[in-house]
């Protein structure tokens, strides 16, 4: 996620506060100065940071906070609540409804990811029961139409193409085509430029006036930082955008765009692109993102993604084994294969509480490859009962997998630790609390 540096710095600030026990006013003011620097380094707008720190400081310096038995927790709660407001407050859902033709216009600069996210949005809507039509309105960028046709095929969505007309006519023809062929959503993939120019803006304004879209989503690269915020304001002033899609949210962005764009434009982030696959588009939840920034994790989003990705039959079997504490290495191998469907391992682990900062951890899918190689080198009996794996067996497994005996030992040790954690979570009712596996066990 693009907040790792910010998470690390904020965690350090609150850890220092926590070591002080009871707080005095100077402790909080010092902490707020550090929070301010952390936000500015994350490329958050100075004006946004200034207002944010003023609001947090005013609440944190209240008498009831300083006299509280747990002042640090109260300060963290204030920061968390203010971050939620900064990110948009409540969830901003896409305005699509059954029984009408929903027209969604995507706009933004070239390279932001509009074309790819047209297909991602189509996949998202198909999963919600809609029948989307993707429209190729970018007639200028070389191979843009070829790209969207490939994406349409991969997303199993129809693409409307007219190569000999201008984007305004294409948009109007596509809307007519959708009405006559049973589509209930039209997704307009408009052209972009390397920078804002009059011709681009005139074209977008004309498309808006002719088809009257129900949603105008500004697609912006999270990596662009403050430049993204400035561009989004220009598009909003001209078109009156209804929401924002932040792409490359899984990259190395510092997070400034996400934390600045709502305050700057008044428009909420509706989606985030979390990977390269067509299914890697998620609704934006301000509360969950704020808690991830503070290192509190995002278990709900992780569970939702697991329920979408995991195989039904395998999950039922796994859930039963977890309940009976009979989880073995074969199940572990199945779990790693299921996790691959959810996206990069680092992204998955970053959503767990306390794991928001992964800068110093070597977490990659190559580690999963090594684990799989080791388990594949075991016999079925060894997978079911790892306790029988003696020194000679470890030596054979290491040779078969191309790994060291030390790697085999590490896997076995971590597997036993994982079993203890699973047993604890099961006994504490954690799975029931979050509804994990309930979707599958009800079927």
pLDDT value at residue 325: 65
**2-11, 232-241, 265-274, 384-393: the lowest-pLDDT one:** 2-11
Residue 177 has pLDDT above 70, yes or no: yes
pLDDT-derived band at 214, boundaries 50, 70, 90:
very high
Please name each of the domains of the chain with its CATH number.
4-86 (1.20.120.140), 102-293 (3.40.50.300), 299-441 (1.10.260.30)
Q: Give mean pLDDT, residues 410-435.
A: 67
- The predicted model gives 199-204 an average pLDDT of 88
Whether the CB-CB separation of 88 and 286 falls below 8 Å is answered with yes
Q: Is the pLDDT of residue 365 over 90?
A: no
Read off the pTM: 0.69
Per-residue pLDDT of 333-350, as tens digits, reads 777 767 666 666 655 655
Taking only the tens place, the pLDDT of each residue in 62-74 is 766 656 557 777 8
pLDDT of residue 343: 61
Q: Is the pLDDT reported for residue 400 higher than 90?
A: yes
Q: Alpha-carbon distance 435 to 414, whole Å?
A: 26
Band (126; pLDDT cuts 50, 70, 90): very high
The predicted pLDDT at position 65 comes to 63
Task: Calculate mean pLDDT across residues 409-428.
Answer: 74
- Give the model's pLDDT for residue 328: 84
Two structure tokens written together for 404: 């060291």
Q: Give the strands of the sheet with 269-273, arranged side by side.
A: 158-160, 132-136, 185-189, 102-107, 215-221, 243-247, 269-273, 281-283
Q: Report pLDDT for 438.
A: 45
**pLDDT by residue (tens digit) across 232-265?**
888 888 889 999 998 887 665 566 777 888 888 8
Alpha-carbon gap, residue 257 to 228, rounded angstroms: 6
Higher pLDDT, 272 or 325: 272
Instruction: Please tell me the predicted confidence (pLDDT) of residue 434.
Output: 44
- Coil, helix or strand for 36? helix
Could you tell me which residue, 430 or 107, shows the higher pLDDT? Answer: 107
pLDDT score recorded for residue 441: 40
Closest CA to 82 of 66, 65, 107, 60: 60
The band of 134, judged by pLDDT with boundaries at 50, 70 and 90, is very high
pLDDT score, position 419: 74
Could you report the per-residue pLDDT of 11-58, keeping only the tens digit for each? Answer: 888 888 877 767 788 888 898 999 999 888 888 888 889 999 999 988
- Per-residue pLDDT, averaged over 290-306, amounts to 64
CA distance 443 to 310: 14
Q: 429 pLDDT exceeds 50?
A: yes
Mean pLDDT of the chain: 81
Is residue 347 within 8 Å of 250, Cβ to Cβ?
A: yes
């Amino acid at each position: 996620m693009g907040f790792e540096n910010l998470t690390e710095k904020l965690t350090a600030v609150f850890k220092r506060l926590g070591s002080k026990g009871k707080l005095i006013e100077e402790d909080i003011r010092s902490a707020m100065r550090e929070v301010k620097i952390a936000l500015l380094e994350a490329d958050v707008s100075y004006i946004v940071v200034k207002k944010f720190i003023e609001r947090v400081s005013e609440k944190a310096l209240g008498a009831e906070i300083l006299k509280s038995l747990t002042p640090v927790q109260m300060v963290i709660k204030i920061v968390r609540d203010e971050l939620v407001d900064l990110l948009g407050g409540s969830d901003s859902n896409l305005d699509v409804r059954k029984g009408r033709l929903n027209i969604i216009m995507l706009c933004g600069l070239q390279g932001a990811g509009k074309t790819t996210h047209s297909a991602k949005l189509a996949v998202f809507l198909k999963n919600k029961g809609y029948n989307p039509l993707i429209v190729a309105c970018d007639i200028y960028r070389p191979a843009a139409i070829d790209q969207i046709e490939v994406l349409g095929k991969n997303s199993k969505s129809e693409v409307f193409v007219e190569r000999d007309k201008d984007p305004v006519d294409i948009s109007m023809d596509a809307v007519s085509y959708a009405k006559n062929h049973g589509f209930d959503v039209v997704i307009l993939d408009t052209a972009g430029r390397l920078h804002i120019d009059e011709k681009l803006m005139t074209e977008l304004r004309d498309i808006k006036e002719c088809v009257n879209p129900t949603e105008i989503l500004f697609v912006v690269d999270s990596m662009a930082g403050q430049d993204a915020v400035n561009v989004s304001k220009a598009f909003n002033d001209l078109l009156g955008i209804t929401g924002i899609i932040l792409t490359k949210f899984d990259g190395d962005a510092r997070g400034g765009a996400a934390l600045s764009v709502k305050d700057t434009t008044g428009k909420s982030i509706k989606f985030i692109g979390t990977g390269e696959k067509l299914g890697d588009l998620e609704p934006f939840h301000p509360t969950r993102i704020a808690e991830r920034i503070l290192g509190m994790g995002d278990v709900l989003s992780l569970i939702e993604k697991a329920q979408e990705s995991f195989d039904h039959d395998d999950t039922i079997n796994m859930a039963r084994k977890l309940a009976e504490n009979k989880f073995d290495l074969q199940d572990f191998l199945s779990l790693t294969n299921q996790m691959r469907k959810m996206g990069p391992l680092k992204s998955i682990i970053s959503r767990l509480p306390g794991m928001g900062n992964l800068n110093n951890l070597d977490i990659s899918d190559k580690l999963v490859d090594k684990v799989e190689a080791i388990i594949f080198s075991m016999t079925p009996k060894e997978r079911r009962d790892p306790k029988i794996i003696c020194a000679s067996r470890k030596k054979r497994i290491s040779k078969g997998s191309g790994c060291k005996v030390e790697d085999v030992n590490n896997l076995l040790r971590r597997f036993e630790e994982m079993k203890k954690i699973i047993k604890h979570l099961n006994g504490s009712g954690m799975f029931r609390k979050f509804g994990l596996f309930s979707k599958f066990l009800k079927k």
